[in-house]
Amino acid sequence: MSRPIGTPVELERRRQQAVQAVADGQARQTVATVLGVHVKTVSRWVRAARTPGGVAAKVHPGPTPGLTDADLKRLAELLLQGAKAHGWHNQLWTAARVARLIEHEFHIRYHPEHVREILKRRLGWTSQKPRRKAR
């Protein structure tokens, strides 16, 4: 089953209203029907409301990143050494090259487009186009 639509605060308010309606004497089945949830869900909310913070909004943490902050620091050090230091014929770092470096050094496989996002969002690096030399 998927998570209902709404911010954590809106979903918390919904749970609190359900608990209050049951406390006011409404039947759990009626509350469940009005909210479009299963009666067991309402019962779980009522039970949770007895504990501190039981129906409080919880922010979903999201997936844990594959590269830790220490790994990112090490990656930045490796990138600053230049591409030639890691076996390529020129100093140009591409997303595909960085992906291969990450796989070799950290044993984590990333798609080059995801590597581009890691470099941009977590390291603050941007894509650069090398300047052409005059012929």
**Per-residue model confidence (pLDDT) at position 82:** 92
End-to-end CA distance of the chain: 62
**Per-residue model confidence (pLDDT) at position 39:** 95
Average pLDDT over residues 2-27: 89
Contact 112, 95 (CB under 8 A): yes
Same structural domain, 9 and 43: yes
Cα–Cα dist 134/83, whole Å: 23
Mean pLDDT of the chain: 90
Same structural domain, 33 and 84: no
Q: Which among 10, 39, 61 is the end of a domain?
A: 61
Q: Which pLDDT band holds residue 129 (cuts at 50, 70, 90)? A: confident
For the domain that residue 15 is a member of, what is the CATH number?
Answer: 1.10.10
Summarised one tens digit per residue, pLDDT across range 96-124 is 999 999 999 999 999 999 999 999 999 99
Summarised one tens digit per residue, pLDDT across range 59-93 is 777 788 899 999 999 999 999 999 999 999 998 89
Same structural domain, 89 and 55: no
Q: Which pLDDT band holds residue 4 (cuts at 50, 70, 90)? A: confident
Same structural domain, 56 and 3: yes
Helix or strand run (H / E) with residue 24: none
Cα–Cα dist 116/122, whole Å: 10
3-state secondary structure of 9: helix
**Per-residue model confidence (pLDDT) at position 2:** 61
Domain extent for 100: 69-122
Per the structure, the count of domains in the chain is: 2
Q: Is 0.75 surpassed by the pTM of this model? A: no
Helix or strand run (H / E) with residue 28: helix 28-35
Same structural domain, 57 and 81: no
133 assigned to some structural domain = no
